[in-house]
Chains A and B, each alone.
Chain A
Amino acid sequence: EAGVTQFPSHSVIEKGQTVTLRCDPISGHDNLYWYRRVMGKEIKFLLHFVKESKQDESGMPNNRFLAERTGGTYSTLKVQPAELEDSGVYFCASSQRTGSSYNEQFFGPGTRLTVL
């Protein structure tokens, strides 16, 4: 079974440009999460999808970030326009949706974003 995949693995862009990150969750996983780790700091939650709906977007830093999950499969995270402080590693994770309060989150390898 394929794990969570993310594309691209690295992205280097100029300040003010737009970047779109993609996450493909494990097939059948309704829950999809985006996290971000800014250099040297902790990994922070950005948002959570259940299928195509945004369940929790309390971690989105500002309106320059737009996440979508059309059709409830893959998700994209667009940063427009990118700022220097957006540099970091963006992780995606997915989990099954069951009746349990716990569902293991499986992480992708991350996308390293560098804004110059």
Chain B
Amino acid sequence: AQTVTQSQPEMSVQEAETVTLSCTYDTSESDYYLFWYKQPPSRQMILVIRQEAYKQQNATENRFSVNFQKAAKSFSLKISDSQLGDAAMYFCASQPYGKLTFGQGTILTVHP
């Protein structure tokens, strides 16, 4: 069974600063994917970044990067140079195949 845990219900950051959102997971699969999704208020959930478990190199997408620690089953998201538009609920998710297993979500507030 897959489990994903986000231990930070809420986080806040000042505009232009850096923030890290935590995520741990558990899986018995040897091959899987990990994701961070973003859901802005009253808007659709969109994919921020994904990581293939077999790749050692951490994924990056512009200001978004991950710290993937496979042995520790940790998958944190770092947002650099935070912008007001980054304010949203962030979900960590895992996927061996097909369905996604989500964490509880972290609400990120960005202060101007």
Q: Given A42-B4, A91-B45, A105 and B105 touching (CB < 8 A)? A: no
* Closest chain A residue, CB of each to CB of B42: A109
Q: With contacts A42-B102, A43-B102 known, is A101 near B97, CB below 8 A?
A: yes
In the complex, A43 Cα to B4 Cα: how many Å? 11
A1 within 8 Å of B (CB atoms): no
**Residues of chain B contacted by A59 (CB below 8 angstroms):** 99
Tell me the smallest distance from the CB of B41 to a CB of chain A, in Å. Answer: 12
Give the contacts of B67-103 with A (CB-CB under 8 A).
Answer: 91, 95, 97-103
Name the CB-closest residue of B to A41: B104
Q: Show the binding face of A for B, using Cβ within 8 Å.
A: 3-4, 31, 33, 35, 40-45, 48, 55-56, 59, 91, 93, 101-102, 104-105, 107-110
In the complex, A108 Cα to B39 Cα: how many Å?
Answer: 11
Distance between A68 CB and nearest chain B CB, rounded to angstroms:
18
Contact B100 A109 (CB under 8 A): no
- Taking beta carbons and an 8 Å cutoff, which residues of B are in contact with A? 4, 31, 33, 37, 43-47, 50, 52, 91, 95, 97-105
Per the bound structure, the CA–CA distance linking A86 and B31 in Å amounts to 33
Given A41-B104, A42-B4, A109-B44, A102-B33 contact (CB < 8 Å): yes
- Return the contact of B31 from the options A33, A41, A101 (Cβ within 8 A): A101
Q: B98 — nearest CB in chain A belongs to which residue?
A: A48
Whether the Cβ atoms of B98 and A55 lie closer than 8 Å is yes
Bound-state CA distance A109–B42 (Å) is: 8
Q: Name the residue of chain B whose CB is nearest to the CB of A33.
A: B99
Can you show 14 pairs from A to B with CB atoms below 8 A apart? A35-B102, A42-B4, A42-B105, A43-B100, A43-B102, A48-B98, A102-B33, A102-B50, A104-B50, A105-B47, A107-B45, A107-B46, A108-B44, A109-B44
